[in-house]
A and B are shown apart, each in its own frame.
Chain A
Amino acid sequence: MAVEARTDVAARREDLADKPVKGRSLWQDAGRRFIRNKAAVFFLFLLALIVAFTIVGPYFAKFTIEKVDWTILGKVPAKGMPNIENGHFFGVDQTGRDVYIRVIQGTQISLIVGLLGSAVAVVVGTLYGAIAGYFGGRLDSAMMRFVDILYSIPYMFILILLLIIFGRSFTLLFVGIGLVSWLGMSRVVRGQTLTLKNREFVEAAIATGVKPLSIVVRHIVPNLLGIVVVYATLLIPEMILLESFISFLGLGIQEPNTSLGALISEGASTMQYGVFWQLGFPLAFFVVILFAFFFVGDGLRDALDPKDR
């Protein structure tokens, strides 16, 4: 038997010598692991569906976000139910407006706020953490001390004050939300940078005379991408929840525009009057989106970092 095995092996060795070996990049490895995670794939698919819905959905809408349906206004509990015939697919809200188109807009706004807010946090946090980690020494100390100080500030309250002072603009909303979250990102990135900067490719770059800032931006940052993407994906649901809380306080997006948070807040207050569709539809979208980001984020983390299972 041993003899056969050896010839087997020999044959295979010759086989392999002929074929060119196609390498598998780290990304491809990660991709495969991700695809094997059924929950993550399923929710990614759902997320894509929701985004598609927000793009295509408006074509089927019979009303604008601010049109008041005079025939139903005042009789909402009796006549405002979801109804295919009169075009109010998701029903009517307490002021007589169509919930379907408002949920679509709300989803768009919430997703955008979540993504942009995350983007702000990512950009600021990554650059800050990478610079602190790479340059090290006193700069690092000072920068991280600054982060420590900022960590102690009850940021939610500062955000409330900011919104009160500068008025409620859409830009301020996602910038503000993003700025309260970059701290964690910067710490994570700094830690990762500390590990990365001792690697050989960085040594090589220094040896060939690449400027430090260039090294940070062109060598360190791309290698951080994995951890950054994971963290960012897990950050998005928090951004959306934060935005919903701000809407609850009445400091969110200005009328007639709306967000899922604002819709849910309105719907929660009318729960006891039997108009469940006002809460149900926005809450369903909200929950599915958050679920999706959780699972996709977890899946990404598992895929990019096989140790953490």
Chain B
Amino acid sequence: MIAFILKRLAVAIPTLLVLIILSFILMKVAPGGPFSGEKAIPEAVMKNILARYSLDKPQWQQLLEYIYNIVFHFDFGPSFKYRDRSVNEIIAQGFPVTLTYGFWAFILATLVGITMGIVAAIRHNSWIDYLAVGITIGAQVVPNFVLAPILVLVFTLWLRWLPGGGWNDGQWNYVILPVIALAATYLASIARITRSSMLEVLHSNFIRTARAKGVPGWQVIVRHALKPALLPVVSYLGPVFVGMITGSVVVDLYFSTGGIGQWFVNSALGRDYATILGITILLGALTITANLVVDILYAWIDPKIRY
């Protein structure tokens, strides 16, 4: 297992390097620059701006300097659009926000989704089952940028229960709506996968054996059926994680949380090269970690797999 982890980490480094170079190239090729604005900048001033951000050096030199700074100083450089912030500060401020509601959304989606899937499978073909299937498919097809304004209309305007945006340092009532908006789709898809997987497992021979031996109902589920049923779900968790990062863009935009999803889009639109690269690398590193964790989890659950 340790060897496996080390091997994976060894692959991670060239991966990140590829990521950095790719993003760097893409950013530089894109039209528009970080200083395009309503007021055209006089040439003399422009020269100074470029010098200040090392944008006047040859591209390859910029890239090397950039990589050097990251590897040896963990420094992603200054932001091009926010003069009093470095990218490190932007990430330090925005990442905990995204992490907080992302974490809760993940927990919500997996716990509730799995439970729902199990219950639906156990009560196969009952009204509970149909209801669950209906809700899950419904939630899966409504995009989260339709769900978010609906949530705000219902909970902020009509019921006045929850604030419609802002973060307030992560106070609990500001976290609820972003979590729901992000988790809904994945809760649904996790429930569906759990249900179909559980159904398959429940019909298999070893479950029949267990029941025939007289193992009580719930023990059958928990001790015998659960682990194998969860295998497809666990391997699905990787894409769920990635999907939530993407979904966080919508959540950030609607709820003004200040998370990094919104930073990425704004930086891309504003050509803030440094911030884009910083966030891309961060997300790449996260994805690698998440995939690794998922693989380890998978191995833990399925004794047949040994790395």
Chain A residues proximal to chain B, CB less than 8 Å: 145, 148-149, 151-154, 156-158, 160-162, 164-165, 184, 237, 241, 244-245, 248-249, 261, 264-265, 268-269, 271-272, 279, 283, 286-287, 290-291, 294, 307-309
Q: Is B65 an interface residue (CB 8 A)?
A: no
Chain B residues proximal to chain A, CB less than 8 Å: 11-12, 14-15, 18-19, 22-23, 26-27, 29-31, 137-138, 140-143, 145-146, 149-150, 153, 157, 196, 199-200, 203, 238-239, 242, 245-246, 249-250, 264-265, 268-269, 276, 279-280, 283-284, 287-288, 291
Beta-carbon contact of A241 and B143 below 8 Å: yes
Beta-carbon contact of B146 and A268 below 8 Å: yes
- In the assembled complex, the Cα of A161 lies from the Cα of B31 at a distance in Å of 11
Chain B residues lying within 8 Å of A160, measured Cβ to Cβ, are 264-265, 268
Q: How far in angstroms is the closest Cβ of chain A from B124?
A: 11
- In the assembled complex, the Cα of A149 lies from the Cα of B21 at a distance in Å of 13
Chain A residues lying within 8 Å of B264, measured Cβ to Cβ, are 157, 160
- In the assembled complex, the Cα of A154 lies from the Cα of B286 at a distance in Å of 9
Q: Identify A154's interface contact among B29, B200, B284, CB under 8 A.
A: B284
Name B204's closest neighbour in chain A (CB-CB): A307
Chain A residues lying within 8 Å of B142, measured Cβ to Cβ, are 283, 287
- In the assembled complex, the Cα of A261 lies from the Cα of B18 at a distance in Å of 32
- In the assembled complex, the Cα of A264 lies from the Cα of B131 at a distance in Å of 26
- In the assembled complex, the Cα of A294 lies from the Cα of B35 at a distance in Å of 46
Name A162's closest neighbour in chain B (CB-CB): B26
Beta-carbon contact of B30 and A165 below 8 Å: yes
Beta-carbon contact of B31 and A152 below 8 Å: no
With A157-B280, A161-B30, A308-B200: A152-B15 Cβ-Cβ less than 8 Å: yes
Chain B residues lying within 8 Å of A184, measured Cβ to Cβ, are 239
Q: Identify A245's interface contact among B149, B153, B250, B269, CB under 8 A.
A: B250
With A264-B143, A291-B137, A309-B200: A249-B288 Cβ-Cβ less than 8 Å: no
Chain A residues lying within 8 Å of B11, measured Cβ to Cβ, are 145, 148-149
Chain B residues lying within 8 Å of A149, measured Cβ to Cβ, are 11, 14-15, 18
- In the assembled complex, the Cα of A268 lies from the Cα of B142 at a distance in Å of 11
Chain B residues lying within 8 Å of A249, measured Cβ to Cβ, are 249, 265
With A154-B245, A160-B265: A248-B145 Cβ-Cβ less than 8 Å: yes
- In the assembled complex, the Cα of A249 lies from the Cα of B15 at a distance in Å of 27
Task: With A152-B19, A245-B145, A291-B141 given, name 4 new contacts (CB 8 A).
Answer: A148-B15, A156-B246, A248-B145, A248-B250
- In the assembled complex, the Cα of A64 lies from the Cα of B288 at a distance in Å of 48
Chain B residues lying within 8 Å of A148, measured Cβ to Cβ, are 11, 15
Beta-carbon contact of A154 and B30 below 8 Å: no
- In the assembled complex, the Cα of A290 lies from the Cα of B137 at a distance in Å of 9
- In the assembled complex, the Cα of A291 lies from the Cα of B141 at a distance in Å of 7
With A149-B11, A152-B287: A165-B26 Cβ-Cβ less than 8 Å: yes
Q: How far in angstroms is the closest Cβ of chain B from A127?
A: 22
The B interface is mostly helix, strand or loop, or mixed, namely: helix
Chain B residues lying within 8 Å of A156, measured Cβ to Cβ, are 242, 245-246
Q: Identify A153's interface contact among B149, B276, B287, CB under 8 A.
A: B287
9 A–B contacts, CB within 8 A, in A order: A145-B11, A153-B18, A153-B284, A154-B283, A158-B22, A161-B26, A244-B143, A245-B143, A248-B250
The A interface is mostly helix, strand or loop, or mixed, namely: helix
Name A271's closest neighbour in chain B (CB-CB): B149
Name B287's closest neighbour in chain A (CB-CB): A152
Name B133's closest neighbour in chain A (CB-CB): A39
- In the assembled complex, the Cα of A157 lies from the Cα of B283 at a distance in Å of 10
Chain B residues lying within 8 Å of A286, measured Cβ to Cβ, are 141
Q: Identify B146's interface contact among A164, A165, A264, A308, CB under 8 A.
A: A264
Q: How far in angstroms is the closest Cβ of chain B from A114?
A: 13
Beta-carbon contact of B199 and A161 below 8 Å: no
Name A301's closest neighbour in chain B (CB-CB): B196
- In the assembled complex, the Cα of A290 lies from the Cα of B19 at a distance in Å of 33
Chain A residues lying within 8 Å of B246, measured Cβ to Cβ, are 154, 156, 245
With A161-B30, A268-B149: A154-B265 Cβ-Cβ less than 8 Å: no
- In the assembled complex, the Cα of A249 lies from the Cα of B269 at a distance in Å of 10
Beta-carbon contact of B150 and A271 below 8 Å: yes
Beta-carbon contact of B141 and A287 below 8 Å: yes
Chain B residues lying within 8 Å of A271, measured Cβ to Cβ, are 149-150, 153
Beta-carbon contact of A154 and B287 below 8 Å: yes
Q: How far in angstroms is the closest Cβ of chain B from A265?
A: 6
Chain A residues lying within 8 Å of B30, measured Cβ to Cβ, are 161, 164-165
- In the assembled complex, the Cα of A283 lies from the Cα of B149 at a distance in Å of 14
Beta-carbon contact of B203 and A309 below 8 Å: yes
Residue of A149, A157, A265, A307 with most partner-chain B CB within 10 A: A157
Q: How far in angstroms is the closest Cβ of chain B from A284?
A: 11
Q: How far in angstroms is the closest Cβ of chain B from A266?
A: 11
Q: Identify B23's interface contact among A152, A161, A164, CB under 8 A.
A: A161
Beta-carbon contact of B284 and A152 below 8 Å: yes
Chain B residues lying within 8 Å of A161, measured Cβ to Cβ, are 23, 26-27, 30, 268, 276
Q: How far in angstroms is the closest Cβ of chain B from A95?
A: 20
With A152-B12, A161-B30: A237-B141 Cβ-Cβ less than 8 Å: yes
Beta-carbon contact of B250 and A152 below 8 Å: no
Chain A residues lying within 8 Å of B276, measured Cβ to Cβ, are 161
Name A272's closest neighbour in chain B (CB-CB): B153
- In the assembled complex, the Cα of A264 lies from the Cα of B242 at a distance in Å of 24
Chain B residues lying within 8 Å of A152, measured Cβ to Cβ, are 12, 15, 19, 284, 287-288, 291
- In the assembled complex, the Cα of A112 lies from the Cα of B200 at a distance in Å of 34
Q: How far in angstroms is the closest Cβ of chain A from B15?
A: 4
Q: How far in angstroms is the closest Cβ of chain B from A131?
A: 21
Beta-carbon contact of A165 and B31 below 8 Å: yes
